[in-house]
Amino acid sequence: MTTDTLSWTAVCAADDILPNTGVCALVDGRHVAVFRVGESQYFAIDNVDPKANASVLSRGLVGNLGDRTVVASPLYKHHFDLKTGECLELPELSVHAHEVRVEDGQVMVG
């Protein structure tokens, strides 16, 4: 699916997310974790930790493992790639990655 055919949901103002942190948003009935990395990179993945079935990934620690930007789940410390949603330790626990963009100062998730 191309970004032109996606339905976009405004989540919050871009500046509402502090650098290297995340927030949780409800997008089309789904809990989505939206992260700001550095000053201007934004990522979105499902917020539910698949091992714990808890909506907590937005509260995880953001960092890098090699060349991958990841968030560590606050519960089981699994690392999720913010670009792909892949769980690095247990790929079967991977989550969905969402399209994200900033438009007119608003973070939009598709």
Averaged pLDDT of the chain: 95
Which 3 state secondary structure label does DSSP give 78?
Answer: coil
Query: Can you give the pLDDT at residue 33?
Result: 98
Taking every pair of Cα atoms in the chain, the longest distance, rounded to a whole number of angstroms, is 37
Residue 52 tokens read as 């714990």
**Strand positions, DSSP E, 19-89:** 21-27, 30-37, 41-46, 48-49, 54-55, 61-65, 68-72, 79-81
pLDDT grade for 6, boundaries at 50, 70 and 90: confident
Domains of the chain: 3-109 (2.102.10.10)
pLDDT grade for 4, boundaries at 50, 70 and 90: low
